Amino acid sequence: MTGLFFLSWRNLFRNPRRTAASLATVGLGAAGLLIYQGFNEGIMNQYRENVIRVRYGHGQLFPKGYRDRAHGNPREEWIKDPDTVETVLLSIPEVKQVFARASFYSFLTKGPVRMAAKGEGVQWKKEPAFFTSMNFEAGGDLSGPGQIILGRGLANSLGAKPGDKIRLMSQTVEGDINDVGVVVAGIFHTGAQDFDSGVFRVDIETAQELLKTKRVELFTLRNTGIEAWPAVVKAVGEKLPDLEAVPYDELDKVYYKNAVAFLNAQFAFIRVIMLFIVALGIFNTITVGMLERAPEIGALRANGEPRRRLFGVLMRENALLGVLGGALGIGLAVLMDQTILSRGIPMPPGPGITRHFLIFLEIQPSHFVQAMLLPMLATVLSGLWPVTRLLRQGIPALLRP
Higher pLDDT, 102 or 289: 102
In 256-364, alpha helices (H) = 258-292, 294-302, 307-338
Distances (CA, A) of 339 to 35, 40, 329, 334: 13, 19, 15, 9
Once rounded to an integer, what is the mean pLDDT over residues 288-314?
80
pLDDT in tens, 219-260: 999 999 999 999 999 999 999 999 999 999 888 877 777 777
What is the pLDDT of the chain when averaged over all its residues?
A: 87
User: Quick one: average pLDDT of 349-353?
Assistant: 68
Cα–Cα distance between 375 and 87 in angstroms, integer? Answer: 53
pLDDT at 6: 66
Whole-number pLDDT of residue 4? 56
Most confident of 135-149, 258-272, 345-359, 386-400: 135-149
> Using 50, 70 and 90 to split pLDDT, how confident is the model at 175?
confident
- What is the C-alpha to C-alpha distance for residues 24 and 63, in angstroms, rounded to an integer? 59
Cα 286 to Cα 318: distance, rounded to the nearest angstrom: 8
Q: How far apart are CA 45 and CA 357, in angstroms?
A: 12
d(CA 284, CA 179): 76
Q: Which of 42-51, 183-192, 328-337 has the lowest mean pLDDT?
A: 42-51
- If one compares 330 and 349, the residue with the highest pLDDT of the two is 330
pLDDT of residue 9: 67
Q: Which of 287, 250, 256 is nearest to 353 (CA)?
A: 256
How many Cβ atoms from other residues are within 10 Å of residue 186's Cβ?
21
Helix (H, G, I), strand (E, B) or coil at 83: helix
State the Cα–Cα distance between residues 169 and 173, nearest whole angstrom. 13
- Classified as helix, coil or strand, 192 is strand
| pLDDT band per the 50, 70, 90 thresholds, residue 5 | low
Q: Considering the chain, what percentage of its residues have pLDDT values greater than 70? A: 96
Closest CA to 324 of 8, 2, 62, 7: 8
Task: Return the minimum-mean-pLDDT range out of 2-11, 166-175, 200-209, 300-309.
Answer: 2-11
Q: Fill in the amino acid letter for 332.
A: L
Higher pLDDT, 17 or 150: 150
273, 277, 279, 284: CA torsion to nearest 10: 160
Average pLDDT, stretch 203-227? 94
Three-state SS at 292? helix
212 three-class SS: coil
Cβ atoms 78, 215 nearer than 8 A: yes
188 φ, ψ (degrees, to nearest 5): -110, 160
